[in-house]
């Protein structure tokens, strides 16, 4: 089955960019911070040092120049606006929700918000993600973010918000590198850090990352082409080396970090590398843009009891996952060539819809009519269907979120109880070990003090 493919038909304007809002006007008129070109990568990808945090400037810039824009508010079915910069939010500035609704009355307002709705240390405009239970799918505000609420959304507050999810902002401006028959000299690649991610450490995912890195090193010692590891930071340090590794690799490992999403997923696809997931929710990312199950490999490392909830590792010791890491790499190394070829074809089909092109023309160079749509074109297609009164599909999705929220709360309560029991067992074991003191320790304990 082919992945979602959207051809760009001739379009009449239907959305209004609310340049009456200062933040929106500034982003609409200024070029986004694309960053420098990365010359070491295939020219067909137009790769640039774009940071994933710059999603909102890219979206507003592209939408302000999109053929779906209308300059007349009366002709629009919805309005587009940007959340204020993160610094102003952190300083206490509220989102201009009341002003937006006054300037765009009676229409949905599509608010381009922070890059990640699944993070604790995100740059979301917090007031936009409240009152979602009461407003539900009839909320005038439709939030756009680079990943859906997941692990950190235990109480379901964000997941009930009216929203549209778009892919993370990657480094490619074109998808052509994904389909190039480049020689893949490395079987498995892992690019990522195993320290410095505070939420990843707290949730236990750093243990997965360390186990993967350690096994990659072991495989590399046996065969230097079997697995290679490259360090890359959240700020983008090491990105060129990581992307160069992806371009030469067949499989690219994508364990969760601070969130389920990673810009590395988009980078892998746009370089023709098959993403390998470790959490079932990773296959639920950006479902309006690609069919991840057809273009990825999943090794579910989540605790068996939590496969239906929002699971996190219970044990944070990388040694516990060593056997899983070894089995995973053995399976990837032994995967038949026919299966690999089918996955690579699916990756190439998926790439256009995950790319943020520098200009309208979708996922291909030249901007010709009928070219495959890029991530912004897919967003615009979903915006066209927005109305103040939710569609049947949108209402059904909200009901599903309500049900999932209730199930997640039950699962989270059970998980906390299970984790408490595990801690009690561990503490009891440590207590028994403490009683088995050495003779020297006992002598020191009997020694008079003072």
Q: What is the 3-state secondary structure (H, E, C) of 28-47?
A: HHCCCCCCCECCCCCHHHCC
- Long-range contacts: 264-268, Cβ < 8 Å, 24+? 264/191, 264/192, 264/232, 265/168, 266/167, 266/168, 266/169, 266/170, 266/172, 266/354, 266/355, 267/170, 267/171, 267/172, 267/242, 267/243
Report the Cα 351 to chain-centroid distance in Å.
Answer: 15
**Cβ proximity of 248 and 184 under 8 Å:** yes
Question: What are the strands, taking DSSP E only, across 175-315?
Answer: 186-191, 227-230, 249-253, 274-277, 297-298
pLDDT tens sequence for the chain (450 residues): 445 555 555 568 999 999 999 889 999 999 999 999 998 887 778 999 998 889 999 999 999 999 999 999 999 999 999 987 655 544 345 677 888 999 999 999 999 998 888 776 656 787 888 778 788 888 999 999 998 887 766 556 788 889 999 999 999 999 989 988 778 999 999 999 887 677 788 888 999 999 999 999 999 999 999 999 998 876 778 899 999 999 999 999 999 988 888 999 999 999 999 999 999 989 999 999 999 999 999 999 987 644 444 457 777 889 999 999 999 999 999 999 999 999 999 999 999 999 999 987 655 543 333 457 999 999 999 999 999 988 888 888 888 877 877 776 676 677 667 667 766 776 676 665 555 555 555 555 555 544
DSSP per-residue letters across 147-177? S---TT-TT-TGGGS-EEE-----S-S-SGG
**Cβ proximity of 59 and 101 under 8 Å:** no
**Beta-ladder partners of 297:** 276
Structure tokens at 411: 């699962």
**pTM for this one?**
0.85
Q: Nearest 5°: CA angle at 332, between 328 and 336?
A: 140
In order of 7, 177, 290, the CA distances from 361 in angstroms are 10, 17, 19
Question: What are the strands, taking DSSP E only, across 267-383?
Answer: 274-277, 297-298
Which residues, 6 or more positions from 311, have their beta carbon under 8 angstroms from its beta carbon? Answer: 279, 302, 303, 415
Backbone φ and ψ for 353, nearest 5 degrees, come out as -75, -10
Q: Nearest 5°: CA angle at 238, between 236 and 239?
A: 60
Question: What are the strands, taking DSSP E only, across 48-175?
Answer: 78-82, 109-112, 141-145, 163-165
């Amino acid at each position: 089955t082919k992945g979602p493919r959207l051809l760009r038909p001739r379009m009449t304007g239907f959305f209004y960019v609310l340049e009456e809002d200062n933040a929106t006007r500034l982003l609409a008129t200024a070029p986004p911070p694309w960053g420098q070109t990365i010359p070491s990568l295939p020219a067909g990808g137009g790769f640039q040092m774009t940071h994933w945090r710059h999603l909102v400037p890219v979206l507003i810039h592209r939408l302000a120049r999109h053929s779906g824009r209308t300059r007349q508010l009366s002709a629009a079915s919805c309005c587009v606006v940007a959340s204020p910069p993160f610094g102003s939010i952190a300083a206490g500035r509220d989102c201009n929700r009341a002003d937006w609704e006054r300037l765009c009355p009676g229409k949905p307002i599509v608010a381009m918000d922070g890059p990640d709705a699944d993070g604790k240390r995100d740059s979301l405009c917090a007031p936009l993600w409240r009152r979602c239970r009461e407003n539900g799918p009839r909320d005038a505000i439709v939030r756009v973010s680079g990943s859906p609420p997941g692990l950190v959304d235990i109480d379901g507050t964000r997941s009930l918000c009216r929203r549209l999810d778009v892919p993370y902002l990657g480094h490619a401006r074109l998808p052509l590198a994904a389909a190039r028959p480049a020689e893949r000299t490395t079987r498995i690649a892992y690019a990522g850090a195993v320290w410095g991610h505070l939420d990843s450490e707290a949730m236990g995912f750093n243990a997965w990352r360390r186990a993967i890195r350690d096994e990659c090193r072991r495989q590399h010692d046996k065969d230097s082409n079997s697995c290679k590891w490259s360090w890359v930071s959240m700020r983008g340090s090491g990105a060129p080396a990581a992307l160069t590794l992806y371009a030469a690799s067949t499989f690219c490992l994508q364990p969760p970090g601070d969130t389920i999403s990673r810009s590395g997923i988009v980078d892998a696809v746009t370089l023709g590398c098959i993403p390998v997931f470790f959490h079932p929710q990773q296959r639920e990312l950006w479902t309006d843009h690609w069919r991840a199950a057809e273009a990825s490999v999943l090794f579910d490392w989540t605790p068996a009891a939590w496969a239906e909830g929002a699971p996190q590792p219970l044990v944070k010791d990388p040694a516990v996952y060593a056997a899983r890491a070894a089995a995973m790499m053995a399976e990837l190394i032994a995967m038949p060539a026919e299966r690999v070829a089918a996955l690579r074809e699916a990756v190439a089909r998926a790439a256009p819809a995950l790319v943020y092109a520098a200009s309208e023309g979708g996922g291909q160079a030249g901007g010709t009519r009928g070219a495959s749509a890029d991530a912004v074109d897919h967003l615009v297609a979903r915006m066209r269907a927005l109305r103040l009164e939710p569609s049947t599909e949108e209402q059904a999705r909200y009901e599903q979120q309500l049900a999932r929220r209730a199930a997640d709360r039950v699962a989270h309560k059970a998980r906390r109880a299970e984790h408490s029991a595990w801690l009690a067992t561990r503490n009891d074991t440590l207590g028994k070990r403490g009683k088995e003191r050495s003779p020297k320790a006992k002598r020191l304990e009997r020694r008079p003090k003072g």
